[in-house]
Structure 1
Amino acid sequence: MKKTAFLITAIVLAAGVLISCSGSNAGRVNQASAESETTPTEVTATGTPTPSPSPSPSPTPSAIPTPTPIPVKELSDFDPKDFFKDAVFCGDSLLHHFRFRAGPSVKPEIFGDRNTSEWLTIGSYCVRIAVKDVKTLYPGDQACCPKYRGKRVNLWEAIPETGKTRVIMFFGPNDIGITLVDGFIDNYKALIEHIKETTPNAKFYILSITPMRKDMQFIGRLCNDNIHKANERLKEMCDENGWTYVDVESELCDANGDLILFKNGKAISDGTNVHLTSDGYEFWNSQLEKLAREELQKEYYEGFK
């Protein structure tokens, strides 16, 4: 009887424990279920996808104009008369004689009509006189100044009146025997500076000094050694200042640097110390014609820059 009662009690206790455990597990399940329902689901953030850029259309190439080629002109295409019609010649008796012995008076095909260029030339003219105001000179020196429109003139006053801008100059034989080479060059520069003040657009063409006869030199002063030195300095002066040096000496010199007396059977010297015959001036003609064509060609191409 007692055993039976003990078994019943044990069964009842075991049943209670099972019920308690069952309720506890059910609570956990219910709680987990509730948490599952109330806790938001974590969403992994993903960026908005960036669209791939569409390729830019290739620009349509614009048509590049083909530059017009510059028409080529040879030296022979230029007329030297077009150069000399804007020229004024300034200088002493060698340049003065050139006008009538070989220049415009006898070579119109090069220089044009003899009245096209202007001439401010006279015998015994020199830069040591030309650089001074004619009004301040002694009468003897005034007589060595050229006339323009009937009166003795300063070059820097007469040149702008001519309207010419190509200034062709020859000086030297009447200078270096007195002022020697240094004084000659200094006066030449000063004279050109005077002219530039009144004719700022002037272009300067400086002729070299022609040599003397060997038997008529004044050794140590007016002589071929000093003439050659002066020509070297003239070229340096031109190179430094953008002026044009024109060689009218080299073809007239012999091997010793003296004036040749005959060439191709023709007399070059007129019998005086420095002056030339018409045949002697032919080298001047060829050099000045060459100068004119070269300058016109250079100016032609500069016009396309």
Structure 2
Amino acid sequence: MRSNNQKENQALTPMQKQAVLVCIVCALAALLTIGITLTMLKRGKNPTEQPGDSSIITPAPAPEGEEDISDHYQINQTSSALLTGTSDAGDAYQEQTLFIGDSNTVRLYASGLISLQQFCAKEGIGTSAALHEGIVTFKRDDNRYTIAQAVAKMKPRRVVIMLGTNDNGMNTEDFISNYTALVQAIQASYPYTDIIVNTVPPVPSNHSNYPNMDQTRIDDFNMALLTMCEQLGVKFLNSAEALKDANGYGNVDYYQSGDIHLKPAGLKVLLKYLRTHAYETEDRRPDTNNIPTRAEYTANPSSAVEAPSSSEEVSSSAVEEKTEYQAGYRVDKTGGGTLTCGNESGKSLTVKVTSAAQTVTVTAVPEDGYVFVKWSDGVTKRTRTDTNFDQNVDVTAVFAAASIQISSSGKAALGDSYTFKATLKGKYLDASSIRWYVNGSEVTQAAGKTTIKGEVDPSMLGGKFRVYATASYNDCTVTSNKLELTVSGAPSSSSSSTSSSGASSKEDKPASSKDETSASSKEDKPASSKEEKPASSSSNGTSESTGSSSKVEKPASSAASSKVEKPTSSSQSSSSSKVEKPASSKQEHTASSKEDEPATSKEEKSASSKAEASASKEAVN
């Protein structure tokens, strides 16, 4: 009886069974929620964000029957150029960005998502046209500017470039070559802006309106763009991952039917991705003044950037109503030069403009060891003239260090050769601008060469040759140090001399013979401080130098420190370690004047004059 009661107590009632089942279901739901939350946290996402939030990169389902090419696109997630997820940088980040591109960039403006001052774009352009074509205009300015030139005038905090859709028929190498040139042009035109290269937008699998588009080629372009960004030191925005479906094509919800152009929904996803993959750095811009106003944009024009409409044109009388502006010019904080305007000069100049028709001319003058690069608004000429004022002018002159140094080596002895070499320093100097000069005259056949070689021939004996080189950039010339090559004496049947063309050499000491052949190379110093005096006998000397000094042996009336042989009227000594003493001056004159020695000092001067006249021709091969 007791046993039966225990069994009844152990059995669960239907209500209890239902409660247990509910607890199990709740536990499973809790575990599932925890698992999803942990997964999202590992991916860096906020679990409170809605599924439609563009910061969550979840590929959309692909249309049925669509080919899966998702494995083709492989991006190095550890690349230093790749922008990774951040918190939303907000509207201010977006408003400080200038958007560069083609029709999809134009649509950002047409949809009211960015302002007129935030884009430089044209429908249908590719990378080549973006580099070379003047597509940007400004109010009250008849000029058309390339994108790089426009960036310099608009002085943006950062630029985002999105080009490539119209280059789909190009091979990857040519595409990257054009793109690289464009990025470098922007860097050179306005180095103070951050550059972000956005991916070429993907296309949906149904792009029947543009049947020649190839998504795998677009993927190839984008993978190559990441490598390019690493090499150029700019950032890569992988917005393609936010615009693709699960199969690797463009999400059909973001595109017009059968088209490759983004709808407003896709454009908003693009901008959201930009703000949540932000690149924020220190603002390096020297100024944000004097930014011109973009010209009116007309929807679907042959050119996306139109000149001012007739209703916006301002008459000259209206311009004259404002009678005072300020034109400010300054040298960049890195220095390197000064500015001149009329009789004024300095690191900073301010000119009061009292009439729109007034003309202000300012010249940027580089200091020694510098060249002028450009003005901050993109003008590359050293001397600029501003006129037709309708607002203040505030620009900065940018200079860069540059120099050329020459060195020499080899021998300056009769029949031997010597070499001069030029070394350039500074990113703006190019070897093609090198010019060589000998005794003040340009050696035209040596233009553009970093190394020149020459050979000493009899016509050069007795000559002095001052050698230097110049290099230039942007109408600025830098001059090298000067080296002097001196060849003294006259030819002799048994004479020899060796010398290095160093920067300086010791003073040549007088020898005991008239027939002396010596050579030296100096930097900005005369060949000798004392005049060489003829001796009473004929002898042969050798000159050797190591480094930057030369040693000349004195005439030997006793044993010399080097071996020198002297010819006589009847025989030569068979021993190279001894030097015969000179005979009488009369006998030596008879024995040697016909062979080696110039007759008089007058003849010696004549030979020296002729050699110097022909030196610039012979000094360079």
Deviation at 1:299, TM superposition (A): 4.6
For 2:137, the equivalent position in structure 1 comes to 147
CA distance in 2, matches of 1:166, 1:271: 33
Structure 2: 5+ residue runs without aligned partners? 1-85, 284-621
Larger-gyration structure (1/2):
1
For 1:276, the equivalent position in structure 2 comes to 262
Output one character per residue of 1:69-99: Cα deviation in whole Å (capped at 9) or x when no partner: xxxxxx65x8533333432211101111023
Alignment counterpart, residue 242 of structure 2, candidates 237, 247, 251? 251
One-letter amino acid of the structure 2 residue matched with residue 82 of structure 1 = A
% same residue: 20
CA distance in 2, matches of 1:198, 1:283: 31
CA distance in 2, matches of 1:259, 1:102: 23
For 1:120, the equivalent position in structure 2 comes to 120
SS of match in other structure, 1:167: strand
For 1:97, the equivalent position in structure 2 comes to 107
- Answer whether contact 1:102 1:278 (CA < 8 A) is retained: no
TM-score by length of structure 2 reads 0.29
Sort the Cα spacing of 1:258 and 1:195 in 2 relative to 1 into closer, same or farther, 3 A.
same
CA distance in 1, matches of 2:183, 2:279: 20
Alignment counterpart, residue 170 of structure 1, candidates 162, 175, 180? 162
- 1:203 equivalent to 2:213? Answer no
CA distance in 1, matches of 2:112, 2:226: 25
TM-score by length of structure 1 reads 0.57
One-letter amino acid of the structure 1 residue matched with residue 269 of structure 2 = F
CA distance in 2, matches of 1:225, 1:79: 32
Deviation at 1:160, TM superposition (A): 1.0
Deviation at 1:252, TM superposition (A): 2.1
CA distance in 1, matches of 2:255, 2:98: 26
One-letter amino acid of the structure 1 residue matched with residue 128 of structure 2 = R
- Answer whether contact 1:125 1:174 (CA < 8 A) is retained: yes
Structure 1 segments (4+ residues) deviating >6 Å: none
For 2:271, the equivalent position in structure 1 comes to 285
For 2:219, the equivalent position in structure 1 comes to 228
- Choose between structure 1 and 2 for higher RCO, CA contacts under 8 A separated by at least 6 residues: 1
One-letter amino acid of the structure 1 residue matched with residue 118 of structure 2 = E
CA distance in 1, matches of 2:106, 2:237: 17
Deviation at 1:157, TM superposition (A): 1.1
- 1:87 equivalent to 2:97? Answer yes
Sort the Cα spacing of 1:236 and 1:102 in 2 relative to 1 into closer, same or farther, 3 A.
farther
SS of match in other structure, 2:279: helix
Sort the Cα spacing of 1:133 and 1:93 in 2 relative to 1 into closer, same or farther, 3 A.
closer
SS of match in other structure, 1:215: coil
SS of match in other structure, 1:205: strand
- Answer whether contact 1:118 1:162 (CA < 8 A) is retained: no
CA distance in 1, matches of 2:155, 2:244: 36
- Answer whether contact 1:133 1:154 (CA < 8 A) is retained: yes
CA distance in 1, matches of 2:242, 2:166: 22
SS of match in other structure, 1:98: helix
One-letter amino acid of the structure 2 residue matched with residue 128 of structure 1 = S
One-letter amino acid of the structure 1 residue matched with residue 119 of structure 2 = W
CA distance in 1, matches of 2:91, 2:268: 17
- Answer whether contact 2:102 2:125 (CA < 8 A) is retained: yes
For 2:462, the equivalent position in structure 1 comes to none
- Answer whether contact 2:155 2:190 (CA < 8 A) is retained: no
Sort the Cα spacing of 1:174 and 1:299 in 2 relative to 1 into closer, same or farther, 3 A.
same
More helix by share: 1
Output one character per residue of 1:184-240: Cα deviation in whole Å (capped at 9) or x when no partner: 111010011111111122211111111112232777x63101001111011111122
Alignment counterpart, residue 159 of structure 1, candidates 115, 134, 151? 151
For 1:295, the equivalent position in structure 2 comes to 279
Sort the Cα spacing of 1:278 and 1:92 in 2 relative to 1 into closer, same or farther, 3 A.
same
SS of match in other structure, 2:167: coil
CA distance in 2, matches of 1:82, 1:283: 17
One-letter amino acid of the structure 2 residue matched with residue 186 of structure 1 = S
Deviation at 1:133, TM superposition (A): 5.0
SS of match in other structure, 1:160: helix
- Answer whether contact 2:242 2:273 (CA < 8 A) is retained: no
For 2:129, the equivalent position in structure 1 comes to 129
CA distance in 1, matches of 2:185, 2:106: 22
Aligned residues: 195
CA distance in 1, matches of 2:129, 2:205: 27
Sort the Cα spacing of 1:216 and 1:79 in 2 relative to 1 into closer, same or farther, 3 A.
closer
CA distance in 1, matches of 2:245, 2:137: 36
SS of match in other structure, 1:216: coil
Sort the Cα spacing of 1:231 and 1:248 in 2 relative to 1 into closer, same or farther, 3 A.
same
SS of match in other structure, 1:89: strand
One-letter amino acid of the structure 2 residue matched with residue 249 of structure 1 = A
Structure 1: 5+ residue runs without aligned partners? 1-74, 105-113, 135-144, 263-267, 301-305
Deviation at 1:273, TM superposition (A): 2.5
